[in-house]
Copies of this chain bind each other. A is one copy, B any other.
Amino acid sequence: MTGKRKTTIKDVAAAAGVSVTTVSDALSGKGRLPEPTRLKVKAVAETLNYRPSAIALGLREGGLGMVGICIAPAAGNAILTDVGYWAAIVTHASQTILAQGLAPVLLPHSVDLIGRLTIPLDGALVVDPLEYDPVLAFFDEKKVRYVTIGRDPGREAALWVDDDNRTGISRLLERTAQPGAALAFLTVGPKKSYVVDALEGARHWASTHGSSLKVLHCEGLEQEQVDRMVERALRGGVTMLIAQVDRLALRVLASLEAKGLRVPDDVRLLSASDGPELERASPPISAVRQHPDALADMAANALLDLIRGKADLKSATIPMETAIRPSAPAITA
C-alpha cells in the first residue's frame, strides 16, 4: 500500500548514516543490530515518511496479489441492468478476495482494454462468459488463471461454479406445468451457459412428460422485439412460457397484458432467473432462484486455491430453489 512517493530506502540509509542493509534489517526486525541503531533508523525512516515500494516488493516476491473480476455483458447490454445480481457477485467476490489479502480489480469485458492494462494479474474471475468468450481466450494465451461463474458454452470448461439451472428449471416445471402442456422457451441476447442448461432442463422435462417445446430467440429487450417473439410463441396453442431472465419475463408479461391475455388463466409464465421485480409484478412471476452470493464466494475461493497451486480443484453446482408465484401456480396433480 503505497502512493507515489520518492523516499527510498537509500534516502533513509543516507540520512541515518548507515547502509541500506541496516535500514532493511532495522525496519524488519531481522539481522543483529543493537537496539540504539535500530531505534535511530526507525526514527529517521519515520521522519522521512519512508514506505517500502510495493512494486519492488512485488518484483522480489514474484507477485502483487491482484485478481481481476470480469463481468460479461448481459442480455440487453450494460452492467447496470442487472444491478442486483451483479452487485451481489462483485461485493461477495471482493470481500472474499480482500479477506485473503489480495486486491480485486474491476476488469471490463474487452480484450482491448484489458490488454492495455499494465498490471500483473494473479488470476481472474469471469462472470457469465459468452460463447467463445474472447476474454477467456485472452487469459488462456496470457496464462492468467481464471475461474468462471457459469461456463463458456463454446469451450472446454476449465474450472467453474454455477447454479444447477438444469435441475432448477425442470423442478419448477414439475411443480407448475401440466404434463402434456405446450411449452415455449424464450431467450434473449448472447448465448450463455445458464440458458443452455435451463433449456436442456426444460427439454428433458418436456420429453419425459409428453410436452412439446418451442424455442424462440430475440436479440434485445425492446418491447417490440419481445412482442413479436411472444406473438410467434403463441401461434399453435402454447400454454406455458418460460423466459430466460427476469427482465425478459417482465417484458413478456407486458406483452401478454397488451394482447389481452390473462396470466395464468390464458397463459402461464415462468422465469429461469429470479429478481426482486418479479415478486412485485402483477401477477408475481414464478421463478428459479439463483445464488449470486454463494456463487461469488465459491468462485473466489476456488480461484484463490488455484492461484496457490492447490490440486484437485473441482467445478461445482449449487442446487436452486423454486419460487412459486401466481403467474404459474402449483398444479394440483
Contacts and interface: CB of A to CB of B under 8 A. Distances in A.
A144 B55 contact: no
Interface of A: 1-5, 49, 51, 53-59, 61-66, 69, 78-80, 83-84, 86-88, 90-91, 94-95, 98-99, 101-108, 113-123, 139, 142-145, 307
Interface of chain A, helix or strand or loop or mixed? mixed
B90 A83 contact: no
Q: How many copies of this chain does one complex carry? A: 2
Nearest to A99: B113
A140 to B, nearest CB: 10
A103 B117 contact: yes
A1 B121 contact: yes
B3 A144 contact: yes
Contacts of A122: 3-4
A114 B102 CA distance: 10
Contacts of A106: 69, 90, 94, 98, 103-106
A51 B121 CA distance: 12
Given A4-B63, A79-B91, A90-B106, 19 more contacts: A1-B115, A1-B116, A3-B121, A4-B143, A4-B307, A49-B143, A55-B62, A55-B63, A56-B59, A59-B59, A65-B119, A83-B84, A87-B87, A98-B117, A99-B113, A101-B117, A101-B118, A103-B119, A106-B106
A87 B83 contact: yes
B90 A120 contact: no
Nearest to A64: B119
21 contacts: A1-B121, A2-B121, A4-B122, A53-B120, A54-B118, A54-B120, A55-B58, A55-B59, A55-B62, A55-B63, A56-B59, A59-B59, A64-B64, A65-B117, A66-B119, A80-B91, A83-B84, A87-B87, A90-B90, A90-B106, A101-B118
A7 to B, nearest CB: 9
Contacts of A123: 3
The residue in A2, A3, A65 that gathers the most chain B C-beta atoms within 10 A of its C-beta is A3
A3 B119 contact: no
Instruction: Please provide the 10 A-B residue pairs with the shortest distance between their CB atoms, ordered closest to farther.
Output: A3-B144, A54-B120, A3-B143, A55-B58, A104-B106, A94-B106, A83-B87, A103-B119, A55-B59, A55-B120
B4 A66 contact: no
A114 B1 contact: yes
Nearest to A60: B55
Contacts of A4: 62-63, 122, 143, 145, 307
A119 B2 CA distance: 7
Contacts of A142: 1-3, 51
A118 B58 contact: yes
